[in-house]
Amino acid sequence: MTQPCSNAPHLAPPSGAVADNGRVTGPYLQPLLDAAAERGVAPAQLAAGAGLPAGVLLSLPESLPARDYIALLDAGARLADDPHFGLHVGEKVRPGTFSAYGMMLLACSDFAQALAQTQRYEQLAHDLGRTRVAIDGLDAVYAWDSHYPQASRHLVESVFAGIRVFGSWLAGRPLTPARVSFAHRSGADAGEYRRILGVTPSFGAAAHAAHFDAAILSLPVPNADVSLYPLLRQHAERLLGERAQGDGVVAQVRAALLRRLSNNGARLPLVAQDLGMSARTLQRKLADAGTSFQAVLDAVRYALAQDYLRQRDLGLVDIAFLLGFQEQSAFTHAFREWSGINPGAWREQAG
């Protein structure tokens, strides 16, 4: 790739640290549920297969942790015995999949504008990775940097299938890339890749990318109501600002909890005091960010518990103390709620 497209500024590949508290919206989850249901996998079965609480998918959640989404993606592929499950999830993408910014794309005048907005507002739908667009000679190159490079190929393949499906829908005709390359390997059927992506991809490349004729950037969006664009963009900017503010308070609470956990100080009033606000104000700010104090505390404890369990010299009593639990039994009960299995069994599975 050479010079970035002027309408779609280049984004540097993100660091892996962004992904720890990443989220996926309910609408972005819907295509996964639809693809699983079409293959006979019910939501409760899917949740169980991903190690999530049984009732988590009884109704579409407002959002869920990105790592849970990836676990559901892998569970769907396994339970449906579908080597192309990621591609089939991407086939189910619709404008509503992308939440607020999906509607804004329908009001863009051309594809250059739509791709530029995708780069800015993609995070309103998910924190799974980020889009980059650049010009390479006569090609427009769509690249996607995953925040979860250790995830299975189904994640990236679902993204690229979704981009082609939505792009074709936006253009009112099939959009076929000149070539697609993936960084991962795959021994799955080439014919299904060709049917869904329009070409047979190459594997083991340096990056996940699709090359199109650069003329696509000036392609108009048919029937776009450009008069709505300013209003929709204003709405998306407001959501982006609220999200950034929410991410800020969540990050502050996480940091405070990490300092306080082993000293038995992981309590709402104490954390609020650390952040210079009342407990009620902190609860409201966390609610505005789409989460709660208990949810952040559980996420911090679960992430630390997995790290501690990999350290064989730490006993379960030690880990319970480090996480701020009064009793090992309380830790064991909580860990079972988070993962579906006891910490000892998890440690054995983790090797």
Cβ neighbors of 148 (< 8 A, separation 6 or more) are 19, 66, 67, 70, 128, 129, 155
Determine the pLDDT at residue 2. Answer: 32
| DSSP-assigned letters across all residues of 117-157 | HHHHHGGGTBSSEEEEEEEETTEEEEEEEES-TTS-HHHHH
Determine the pLDDT at residue 17. Answer: 34
- Read off the pLDDT of residues 237-272 as tens digits, 9 standing for 90 and up: 888 877 766 667 888 888 888 888 877 788 999 999
Q: What are phi and psi of 156, to 5 degrees?
A: -65, -40
pTM above 0.85, yes or no: no
Place 75 in a pLDDT band, splitting at 50, 70 and 90. Answer: very high
- Read off the pLDDT of residues 224-240 as tens digits, 9 standing for 90 and up: 889 988 888 888 888 88
Q: Is the pLDDT of residue 184 over 50?
A: yes
Q: Is the pLDDT of residue 218 over 70?
A: yes
Q: Is the pLDDT of residue 8 over 70?
A: no
Mean pLDDT (whole number) for 146-154: 91
| DSSP-assigned letters across all residues of 303-322 | HHHHHHHT-TTS-HHHHHHH
Tell me the average pLDDT of the chain.
87
Residue predicted with more confidence, 219 or 348: 219
**8 A C-beta contact, residue 212 and residue 178:** yes
Q: Which of 12-16, 132-136, 144-148, 176-180 has the lowest mean pLDDT?
A: 12-16
Q: Is the pLDDT of residue 20 over 60?
A: no
- Read off the pLDDT of residues 36-62 as tens digits, 9 standing for 90 and up: 999 999 999 999 999 998 788 988 888
**8 A C-beta contact, residue 97 and residue 30:** yes
All structural domains of the chain, each given as residue ranges with its CATH number in brackets, are 16-224 (3.90.1520), 231-350 (1.10.10.60)
Determine the pLDDT at residue 310. Answer: 82
> What whole-number distance in Å separates Cα of residue 101 and Cα of residue 249?
24
> What whole-number distance in Å separates Cα of residue 25 and Cα of residue 99?
8
